[in-house]
Every structure is written in structure tokens, then in C-alpha cells.
Chain A
Amino acid sequence: MDIVACIKRVPDTSETDDIKIDASGKDIEKSNLAFKLNDWDEYVLETAAQLKEKLGGSFTAISVGPKVWEEVLRRALAMGADKAIRVDEDVVSLDPGCVARILSKVIEGLRYDLILFGAQSEDFGSGQLGAMVAEMLGVPHATLVVSLETEGKVIHVCRELEAGALEAYSIELPALLTIQTGINRPRYISLGGIKRAMKAELKVISLDNLGLSLNGLTQELKLERLEFPHRGKEAVIISGLPRESAEKLAHILYSSGIF
């Protein structure tokens, strides 16, 4: 099976009191943060690695980002990827639509049965990339996949809905999946593994190579500003029988402008 996995490098924001908005107002201060592979993408890589171990074939990892992003591609190579491709472009300034266009162009030029994305990223969390790329490439897709079984040219997947409910699909390959956390247990990658991966093939291409240019990519979303949510200190305790308190709550939510 030929697998393509798209992965992302994100800041480690587990310590929330480290996060500050930067001078531009459109990004967070990153100089004091450590960086890592996007959490969802760990599960993507483990899924790809397991499929390759089981079925053979190829496994290619792709990222769109500046040189420092190579560290996540090296992790992919340490996990069993045969090759890695980096498109040299700083993706933070681009909206998901543009990134999708770039990735589709790269993937078009490759042989693939299965394309994997994480369900979302830890930083902007738009959750759109996988679905957009699937549309652009004209392949069927399923999002939030929590289980996956192969049967020849068909894959059987379950999607996570709410309250523990699952939705099952059978999809003919080639297809695209966005992977939800918990689908497997990502293996540990030792430093020794990463060092060995330094010798593996990592190709760098430019937008030019893809026949694209920054000007040619029209942004449909414009990031205005980033701000912290307002931290209020009010607590309202709603009392009464369930029917009454539900009505009160609905009224509060409606009139607060949330809907």
C-alpha cells in the first residue's frame, strides 16, 4: 500500500501560562516555547507505520514549512517513512485553503492509495485541511477516524461522533482519512532512531517546482487578530426542576448572543 502522510510542527503549549500574544497581534510569542510534532500527527505516523509493517509498500511524509520543520519529518523517517518532502514555505501566513492547494499539488505527483492527515492541529485547530485536499484531489474521505481495517482495495473505518457513538464506512481506495487521537498507541522514537534517520532521503521543493506562486494563491480567510478569551468571574447557579432549569439555561444562552 502506498501511503502519504501530511504532518505539522507546532509549539508546545501545554503550559498555558507561557502563552503571550506577540507584538503583531496575529501570532503568539514563540521564542520561549519548545516545538514538537502535532499530537494528531503522531497517530497519523503510527497508523502509516503499522500499515507499512503489515502490508508493505511505501510511506511518504510531507510538510509545508521552513527549514526548522525538518525535525518533524526526521521523526517520520525514524518511524519508518521511506522518504520525506518539505515544501519550503512558511505556512503560518497562509490560510488552510492555500495550504490545501499546495499539498494537493505535491500529492498529485505521487503514487498513493491512502492519504492521511491529523483531524486537526494543536495551534489553529481549523480541522479543514484534510477535507479540502480530498475535494481538490477528487478522492473520497472520512474524518475523525478512530479505527481502520484494510481488506484488499477497500478500507473499513469508524468515525467518532458524539457520546461514544461511531459511524462505520467502507471506502474504496484511493481515499483520504483524517485521524483522531486514540486510534492507536504511537511508538516512542529514540534519539538513536532519529540520528539514523538523519541519513535518510529528505527532499526540499519550492512553490516554483510545483508551478505555484505566493501571489497566485488567493487567500480567502484573513486573520485579523488573536486575543485571549475574556476571563469573567461570574457564576450563576440555575435551580429548579430539570424542565424549568433547562428553559432558564436556554434563555440565558440565547440572549447572551452565543447563537
Chain B
Amino acid sequence: MTLADFKYSDVIHRCFRCGYCKFPINWMDVNNCPAYARFRIETYSCGGRLWLTRAWLSDEIDWTEHLAEILYSCTACKNCEVKCPLRFNADILNMIVAAKSEMVERGKIPAAVKEFLENIQRHGNPYGTSRAKRAEWIEGTGIEQYHGQDLLYYVGCVGSYDTRAQQSARVLGKVMQKAGVSFGVLGNDESCDGNEVSKLGEETLFEMLAEDNIAQFKELGVQRIVTLSPHSYNAMKNDYPTYGGEFDVSHYTQLLLRLVRDSKLDISRGFKAKVTYHDPCFLGRWNAEYEAPRAILHAIPGVELMEMERNRDGSLCCGGGGGNFYIDLLGGSESSPARRRVREADETGANILAVACPTCLTMLEDAVKAEELEDRLAVRDIAEITAEACGIE
């Protein structure tokens, strides 16, 4: 495919490289693009990436694995789209994903991305762990298989297989049980939601995952879904309708807020801590949900909520999106977005960094360890905080 065949060939040259894409809510620094923050080399910023991509598509510069890595270092956090002052800004991520698709079609992608996608093709999750182990996190919780209950509790790959994220998956289940919610899970029958696959440019694989999931949900009579991960929330709410999957999808923080407001959850036990909240990209910038998680924290007695300077649509991505929680193109340095973020959290004086996404949970907890802040900053999922406030062990 030449540049002329590229779907966005009439748009990709319109980037002026003014650099607004690097900013958070004000212009305090240029570290809000996670890849640029990590490397501080121009080609990793959104504008740099677009110019490089255009050069590759026009055969001005040859493909190398490193060029592919630069493209794939984009975590799809949407900071650039929100900050770009030009009228084509809504197409920025579409362009990056379309370029990734072209690399996928040519088979020329970084080794770790190949592994990620092949593992999903084979095992339904990026880790390459057997499907037969997907339900292990459920043991001992009494959480039931879905058979027509009110809600399908969709956990996702990170929540099912990552040991730390499994804790939050369990705790959320227990909170819903305590509130008397009628829900069930798919267990070993659950398969990847495909959100990261779509952001990695593997369109046909995403289509297959979406269609298979939709068929499965319809067969089971699923109408309402609550997701642990904002990634699943994003895919099911925004992309599945294109494939005939119209479901009522909520992220769990939206459900928990309703339960608190309807007094189905007694949070009077409280949670005494100084808490700062990290907006996940796929809940925040992608789906404009900034307030439900905060409302829950405000409602819990004892929580003193302190905002980081970069919050809401100026939040700094944890660096896990675009498959990077596995592919890990942004790790290995104190400049990594996750480590910058936990330093920022620490600066607020908070002792709890609250998250609402299993990917953010694992990325930021690892960063706390790397920054040696474990003695004064702990990362907790909002489900875990709510559980403590309800007196659930």
C-alpha cells in the first residue's frame, strides 16, 4: 500500500508539529504524552510519530523493527486528540491505528506485539496461559457462572490472569454479592474483549473476537454487562454495536455509585486515608467518565480526596495501553510514565493511589516498587477501597 491508498492520506500531512499534544491541562511541562515522556526524543511525540509514519508510508524511510517500536509505543491514551488545536484532531488515533494495521498486514510488527496477538489467537488472552486456567481467580468466592442473572460480570484478561488484578476481580465480586446484585461470570468460557487488539491494528482478529463474544452473550441472553476494566467497557460500549452487539454496558464504578446512592451498600465503616485518584484513559478521556469514581470516594467517610495537578482530561497515562502492559515499550527507566505518575501521586501527600482499572493497578503498583515508595504509598482499586468501607475482608 502506498500513501495514496492510506485511508487518511488527506489528513496525515496536516500535523504542524506545534507540540500541543505533549501538554497536560495547562502547559506546565511537555510530559503528558507517555511515549515522549519516556524517551524525550521528538519522534516519540504524537506529531513526531505522525511525520515518521507518513515518511514510512511514502517509502521515504525504510521499515525497521525500531520504527515499528516507535509506532507501537503509542498507548492510545488520547491526550494528543484532546490537546491538538487543529480540526483533524479527532482522526489522530485512527491514523496511528491504521498505520499499525498496515504493519500487521505486512506481518512486520515488533516481536512482543506478535507474541501478544498470537497468544490471543491461540489462547484467548495475551499472556499465552491456557484457557483452562482463566477461572482460577473465582475459587473460594462463591461467584456463580452466568446463567441468566441480571448482570454479566465481564472480568477481562488482566483481571483473570494477573495475580494482583485477580485480587481486585475477587473483591469486586464480593462487593456485588454483599449488595445483593444478581450477576454471573463466564469463567473459562470468557474470551478477550479485543480492545487492545483493535488498538494494535489487528482489525480482523478484533472482528472475530467481537463477533464470537456477541454471539456467546446473545445465546446466553445477556442484556446488561458490568466490566472490571475500562478497556472492556470501551470496546463493548463503543465498538460492539457495529457488529450487532447492543448491550447495556457499565463500568463497575458506575454500578458501585448507584449501589451506594440506593443504599444497597453500607459504607459507614469508612476508609480513613489521604487518597488521590488516577483517571484511567479508557474511562476518562475515551468515555468522559471522570466523576463516578470521585463521587464514590467522596461518599466514603474518612477519605480525604486530593487531586494531582494532572487530572481528568489532563491525566498522565500509566503507560499500559496499546498492549504495553505486556509489550512493555515504555518501561525500564525513571522517566517511564508509570513511575512519573506515582511520583506525582506521592507529591500530593496522599498515602493511597486509587485506580479504577486492572491495567493501571498492575502498572502503578510495579512503579511504586521501582520508586521505592512502598512504605508510604499503596495502590488500591476503588473496589478494594469500597470493600474495606463495607467491612468486607
Contact = CB atoms under 8 A, between A and B. Distances in A.
Interface string A3-26: 000000000101100100000000
Contacts of B121: 191
Contacts of A34: 122-123, 130-131
Given A188-B114, A188-B117, A193 B107 contact: yes
A191 B204 contact: yes
B117 A32 contact: no
B122 A36 contact: yes
A187 B63 CA distance: 13
Nearest to B122: A34
Nearest to A46: B107
Interface string B218-241: 000000000000000000000000
A14 B203 CA distance: 27
Interface in A35-55: 36
B202 A191 contact: yes
Interface in B126-146: 128-133
A187 B117 CA distance: 12
A195 interface: yes
Nearest to A35: B122
A219 interface: no
Q: Classify chain A's interface size.
A: 10 to 19
Nearest to B206: A191
Interface in A63-86: 79
B197 to A, nearest CB: 9
B121 to A, nearest CB: 7
A189 interface: yes
Nearest to A190: B104
A53 to B, nearest CB: 11
Given A190-B105, A191-B205, A18 B111 contact: no
Contacts, number: 50
B169 interface: no
Contacts of B123: 12, 34
B203 A32 contact: no
A185 interface: yes
Given A18-B132, A34-B123, A188 B205 contact: no
Contacts of B65: 185
Given A34-B122, A185-B111, A190 B132 contact: no
A191 B130 contact: no
Nearest to A194: B204
A32 B188 CA distance: 12
B204 A188 contact: no
A190 B205 contact: yes
B209 to A, nearest CB: 9
A131 to B, nearest CB: 30
Interface in A219-237: none
Contacts of A189: 107
Contacts of A15: 129-130, 133
Contacts of B132: 18, 32
B296 to A, nearest CB: 38
Contacts of B133: 15
Contacts of B203: 192
Given A190-B204, A191-B208, A12 B122 contact: yes
A190 B104 CA distance: 6
Nearest to A79: B107
A187 B118 CA distance: 11
A32 to B, nearest CB: 5
Contacts of A18: 130, 132
Contacts of A187: 106-108
Nearest to B128: A14
B202 to A, nearest CB: 6
A79 B106 CA distance: 10
A32 B131 CA distance: 9
A156 to B, nearest CB: 25
Interface of B: 65, 104-109, 111, 113-114, 117-118, 121-123, 128-133, 202-205, 207-208
22 contacts: A12-B123, A14-B128, A15-B130, A15-B133, A18-B132, A32-B130, A33-B130, A34-B122, A34-B123, A34-B131, A36-B122, A79-B107, A185-B111, A187-B106, A187-B108, A188-B109, A188-B118, A190-B107, A191-B121, A191-B207, A192-B203, A193-B107
Interface of A: 12, 14-15, 18, 32-34, 36, 79, 185, 187-193, 195
Q: What are the 8 A-B residue pairs with the smallest beta carbon separation, nearest first?
A: A187-B107, A192-B204, A191-B204, A191-B205, A188-B114, A34-B122, A188-B107, A190-B104
Given A18-B130, A188-B114, A190-B107, 4 more contacts: A15-B130, A15-B133, A191-B204, A191-B208
